[in-house]
A and B are shown apart, each in its own frame.
Chain A
């Protein structure tokens, strides 16, 4: 089982109006591992995740997720993964339990398994006592925990986490990684995550890939990456590989809108 690939990506390319966002990348993720996908802003991380999760169609190249091709059988691929997006994707006007329940119905989880599974997961992320509270009353860390629980409800084989600890304090970050590591073992689930916190990647990831300017520049364990660059931390290795330039990302309307909302919500909390 350890040597079988659950995600295989070959020559994957995505262009937006002639602009190459992802440029012929190939990599694979083994079943059961925790895989870190790192890169500076605008390097192509989100575009790659969106293609893996059926939200974007690749311009060319091939993806195999859990044995299925997102282009030809999107629903089978969708059934095989759970995802925690970078921005919250909960319905804040519903309770924690309702958010879980709706997810279960969307994914066709039968009624009796659903209620058992919801209780099990909400207990793991320590939100069972708050199940009937509206999500809008939750803190950022609680929302993240709920999203992780929700992403696992339909027994996926792969869990995508797009910057799961962004904006959280060290205590909450630790807690969240403890859940994820525990679930990786107890559910034998493959974890694919992105982060800008290099020490997190170094600590939890079994393998790491670094993407920059739409190309995968290196992949391996953190020891291999450090040895290759002659550095003593993943952070130094990352900077040695991607340079010190600050990336200016042009934000879309949607991103600006979300940014405004984040500022707005923080001000009114």
Chain B
């Protein structure tokens, strides 16, 4: 337990100490929110969708969680490059505990980042329909964060260097984001897009968060919760397995 805690604490300390990283990773979601929110807002309203800012905010919160969590997972690569990974690999502790510490640490950072973006959205004019469902919203955020930190860790376990990382971002994370319904509703889309979205774990996170914050659901809150729980558990196990096979 102590080992998991100390690795969790390490991630948090690193996060709090890198002011540049905090500000840098808030920039992108904020830019998306302002540019798309105010740019497409009038069209969205004209098409009868209501307030686009309201619709977009949960998607932007998810976006910040997605990117922070995936990056945190990929930090395994960073540790490999900077050598600290070896220090943990020769320690007399199981790889499972190391990976759990890393995943919880990364996920915590991602949730904190998501909450900051949530605050920024409130400042720009976003208003949740009810505050009573906020705890449930937090649950979705935590599950998303765990899922994608685990995914990042799993990917980093078989990548050799940072070059491969850019490919993952371009061909996996970005498409997942665009096909998640974060930026536009999934209703009335071409069939293939709907099918792909249904296979995208991120779509369930977006749906869950949108359901709890602005009472607008596509898959259903229970489905979202079940899918996310299953994905978080599966990816944590997969990440732990892949990580345990790392040889230096």
In the docked arrangement, what's the CA distance between A89 and B85, Å?
Answer: 7
In the docked arrangement, what's the CA distance between A151 and B82, Å?
Answer: 17
Q: Number of residue pairs across A and B with beta carbons under 8 Å?
A: 82
Do A53 and B160 touch across chains, with their CB atoms under 8 A apart? Answer: no
Partner of A257, one of B2, B86, B87, B162: B162
Do A89 and B84 touch across chains, with their CB atoms under 8 A apart? Answer: yes
Do B82 and A92 touch across chains, with their CB atoms under 8 A apart? Answer: yes
The residue in B3, B10, B13, B83 that gathers the most chain A C-beta atoms within 10 A of its C-beta is B83
Do A254 and B160 touch across chains, with their CB atoms under 8 A apart? Answer: yes
Residue A108 interfacial (CB < 8 Å): yes
Do B248 and A50 touch across chains, with their CB atoms under 8 A apart? Answer: yes
Q: Which A residues are CB-close (under 8 A) to B45?
A: none
Do B90 and A53 touch across chains, with their CB atoms under 8 A apart? Answer: yes
Do A55 and B80 touch across chains, with their CB atoms under 8 A apart? Answer: no
* Chain A nearest Cβ from B21, distance in angstroms: 10
Q: Which A residues are CB-close (under 8 A) to B93?
A: 75, 106
The residue in B10, B82, B247 that gathers the most chain A C-beta atoms within 10 A of its C-beta is B82
Residue B18 interfacial (CB < 8 Å): yes
Kindly identify, within residues 242 to 261 of chain A, every residue whose CB is under 8 Å from any CB belonging to chain B: 252-254, 256-258, 261
Partner of B83, one of A55, A56, A87, A103: A87
Kindly identify, within residues 115 to 157 of chain B, every residue whose CB is under 8 Å from any CB belonging to chain A: none
* Chain A nearest Cβ from B174, distance in angstroms: 24
Residue B88 interfacial (CB < 8 Å): yes
Knowing A56-B247, A93-B13, A94-B13 touch, does A106 contact B84 (C-beta < 8 A)? no
Do A78 and B92 touch across chains, with their CB atoms under 8 A apart? Answer: yes
In the docked arrangement, what's the CA distance between A107 and B161, Å?
Answer: 29
Residue A105 interfacial (CB < 8 Å): yes
Q: Which A residues are CB-close (under 8 A) to B80?
A: 254
Do B90 and A88 touch across chains, with their CB atoms under 8 A apart? Answer: no
Mark contacts of B73-99 with chain A using CB atoms, 8 A cut-off: 1 yes-contact digit, 0 otherwise. 000000011111111111111000000
Do B10 and A94 touch across chains, with their CB atoms under 8 A apart? Answer: yes
Mark contacts of B234-248 with chain A using CB atoms, 8 A cut-off: 1 yes-contact digit, 0 otherwise. 000000000000011
Chain A: CB-nearest residue to B247: A56
Do B14 and A106 touch across chains, with their CB atoms under 8 A apart? Answer: no
Q: Which A residues are CB-close (under 8 A) to B85?
A: 89
* Chain B nearest Cβ from A5, distance in angstroms: 22
Residue A229 interfacial (CB < 8 Å): no
Residue A79 interfacial (CB < 8 Å): yes
In the docked arrangement, what's the CA distance between A117 and B6, Å?
Answer: 19
In the docked arrangement, what's the CA distance between A59 and B88, Å?
Answer: 24
Residue B17 interfacial (CB < 8 Å): yes
Knowing A78-B91, A78-B92, A93-B13 touch, does A257 contact B161 (C-beta < 8 A)? yes
| 18 pairs of residues in contact across A and B, judged by CB atoms under 8 Å | A53-B90, A54-B90, A56-B248, A75-B93, A79-B92, A89-B86, A89-B87, A90-B83, A90-B87, A91-B84, A93-B17, A94-B10, A98-B13, A105-B2, A108-B2, A108-B92, A256-B161, A257-B81
A residues whose Cβ falls under 8 Å from a Cβ of B: 50, 53-57, 74-76, 78-79, 81, 83, 85, 87-94, 98, 102-103, 105-108, 252-254, 256-258, 261
